[in-house]
Amino acid sequence: MTDLTRLSAAALAEKIAAGEVTAVEATEAHLARIEAVDEKVHAFLHLDREGALAKAREVDAKREAGERLGPLAGVPLALKDIFTTEGIPTTVGSKILEGWVPPYDATVTRKLKEADVVVLGKTNMDEFAMGSSTENSAFGPTGNPWDLTRIPGGSGGGSSAALAAFEAPLALGTDTGGSIRQPAAVTGTVGVKPTYGGVSRYGMVAFSSSLDQGGPCARTVLDAALLHSVIAGHDERDSTSIDAPVPDVVAAARNGEVRGLRVGVVQEFSGEGYQAGVMQRFGESVELLRELGAEVVELSCPSFTKALAAYYLIAPSECSSNLARFDAMRYGLRVGDDGTHSAEEVTALTREAGFGDEVKRRVMLGTYALSSGYYDAYYGSAQKVRTLITRDFERAFAQVDVIVSPTTPTTAFPLGERADDPMAMYLADVCTLPVNLAGNAAMSLPCGLAPEDGLPVGLQIIAPAMADDRLYRVGAAVEAAFEARWGHQLLDEAPSL
Give catalytic residues, as residue numbers: 80, 155, 179
Rounded distance between C-alpha atoms, residue 43 and residue 93, angstroms: 12
CA angle 344, 348, 352 (to 5 degrees): 170
CA distance 303 to 3: 48
Instruction: Count the Cβ atoms, other than its own, within 10 Å of residue 462.
Output: 29
| Alpha-carbon dihedral angle through residues 317, 322, 324, 325, given to the nearest 10 degrees | 180
336: phi > 0 → left, psi -120 to 50 → alpha, else beta; which? left
Q: Is 438 within 8 Å of 414 (Cβ atoms)?
A: no
**Whole-angstrom distance, CA of residue 364 vs CA of residue 286:** 41
